[in-house]
Structure 1
């Protein structure tokens, strides 16, 4: 997969579609009209957050004509290789070139099967390679944070889809990935010009992730301390892993990630209920300032 070719420059990341398709929220025709509008606005990829299944991509692909749909991410502990490969092959037949399989090892408190995550991912990729309907390396990306998983995403996938990272992590990841592998980090956005209010919204959401050792371990490697994890995150941490402010301020932060080596940025607009909201107005405003065709 040539860098940027499938994902475009800017995508939208949300868990709301996955939750709705699981029955946790509405999934009526209007929901998919939103996906069609994002397609028309020029966003490159719809990222399905919230541990989606491959099948969750089908209605979004059916509701759109151009945009890529990607899992961000599918947990390798929850889905059997044969099912993933077969379902991905069906999407490729019906919507050729428009689905990207994002894979990750998730977190230990979400599954009793969690052990040897790096080795388990290698084994999962080998099983995808040898499945009756193989998933090509160029059609998959890995949720990679640390150096070993980043190297694996370079060697065994199209590239990496890191979550909850900073500009500095993006630059370090680019060094590990080299020139050719794709780097598509997620970036949380609070579109609110009142920075105190924006940080409060950010902390309400960030608190959940600061209970997960995979994320806090990566943030410690980046130079944050345990004090930064208290009470939903210090100002320094919040400002590093979120883009806060009006649309122009968000565009400036996006430019920083792209300059650091990101090929694609998966924007997650954080609201008071990010697991269920589809913040259509915010996505429209951002489409006016972000480099969707860059």
Structure 2
């Protein structure tokens, strides 16, 4: 990818976005969330475990925020259907949507097979579709070096999940200067260390059983002991930003200094009756200067 095609995406999503687990929300609540985040100044709303079909009404319900799937599993929707839906969405709302793709996990997909070959084939099919999805409008949930190579060569960049600042720096080196790097960062707005780590561990527990993540953490210098018993303090502190607004802001800036163009902030441990942690989003927006 050349720099001009990725610069437009980087500009559209801005410095900060929100990563939201939206699978439990009613469509109307998802749309409300997007409108709230747009008003707060965030540049992107990344819909957790979503598809283009689920993203389309969120785009239609907002005016300017970029909406992305984060991610759409390549096993969940075929490339031809995905390309057709992307074309419809682009025609209706030009430049408002980015297709985030990932290979999911062997623990979650029956018949899981070679992730690199499967993603390569999926991108080939997107390119060969009647209405191709341009590389500049897709981003990959890449962690390992070979998938990062695909993100560099055949997409606008990478959207890595559950990574440390040091791993962000490594991803930046692998991608080079041009592609967009938009890591997710879990945020716990809780100053008490014990309470904050407990909330982070609750969010982390599911992912400790997925080998794509555990393998990446082991490659990043953590040990099997770090992965045991819900995760060590060292692991939790590296993967999550917790504390008051000042401490969270400092951790976000670590990601930016490591080479992130955009940080997708995922609020953890801030329940709300309607599933929309509005007060937490407002605190986050103020902490990072989303409107700036």
1:173 and 2:171 correspond: yes
Alignment of 1:72-151 (within 5 A): 72-151=70-149
CA contact (8 A) 2:285 2:291 kept: no
Shift of residue 113 of structure 1? 2.5
Structure 2 CA distance, aligned partners of 1:89 and 1:115? 28
CA contact (8 A) 1:8 1:293 kept: no
Partner of 2:39: 40
Structure 2 CA distance, aligned partners of 1:291 and 1:273? 23
Partner of 2:3: none
Structure 2 CA distance, aligned partners of 1:103 and 1:34? 22
Partner of 1:9: 15
1:261-281 superposed Cα distances (whole Å, 9 cap, x missing partner): 00000000012669x832110
Shift of residue 53 of structure 1? 1.2
Moved over 2 A (4+): 30-34, 291-294
1:24-47 superposed Cα distances (whole Å, 9 cap, x missing partner): xx343x552332121011100000
Shift of residue 119 of structure 1? 0.6
| Gap runs ≥5 in structure 2 | 1-5
Partner of 1:23: none
CA contact (8 A) 1:201 1:272 kept: no
Structure 2 CA distance, aligned partners of 1:156 and 1:210? 29
| Gap runs ≥5 in structure 1 | 21-25
- Which secondary structure does the structure 1 equivalent of 2:287 belong to? coil
For residues 48 and 31 of structure 1, do their structure 2 counterparts lie closer, same or farther at Cα, with a shift above 3 Å needed? Answer: closer
- Which of residues 2, 24, 28 is equivalent to 1:19? 24
Shift of residue 193 of structure 1? 1.1
- Which secondary structure does the structure 2 equivalent of 1:268 belong to? strand
- Which secondary structure does the structure 1 equivalent of 2:112 belong to? coil
For residues 70 and 31 of structure 1, do their structure 2 counterparts lie closer, same or farther at Cα, with a shift above 3 Å needed? Answer: closer
1:224-278 superposed Cα distances (whole Å, 9 cap, x missing partner): 001111121100000000000011111110000000000000000012669x832
- Which secondary structure does the structure 2 equivalent of 1:77 belong to? coil
Structure 2 CA distance, aligned partners of 1:150 and 1:181? 10
For residues 31 and 72 of structure 1, do their structure 2 counterparts lie closer, same or farther at Cα, with a shift above 3 Å needed? Answer: closer
CA RMSD of aligned residues (A): 1.5
Alignment of 1:207-286 (within 5 A): 207-271=205-269, 277-286=275-284
TM-score w.r.t. structure 1 length? Answer: 0.93
Between the two proteins, the alignment pairs up a number of residues equal to: 285
Shift of residue 287 of structure 1? 0.8
- Which secondary structure does the structure 2 equivalent of 1:103 belong to? strand
CA contact (8 A) 2:30 2:58 kept: no
CA contact (8 A) 2:270 2:280 kept: no
Partner of 2:198: 200
- Which secondary structure does the structure 2 equivalent of 1:107 belong to? coil
- Which secondary structure does the structure 2 equivalent of 1:206 belong to? helix
Deviates more, 1:231-240 or 1:51-60: 51-60
Shift of residue 283 of structure 1? 0.5
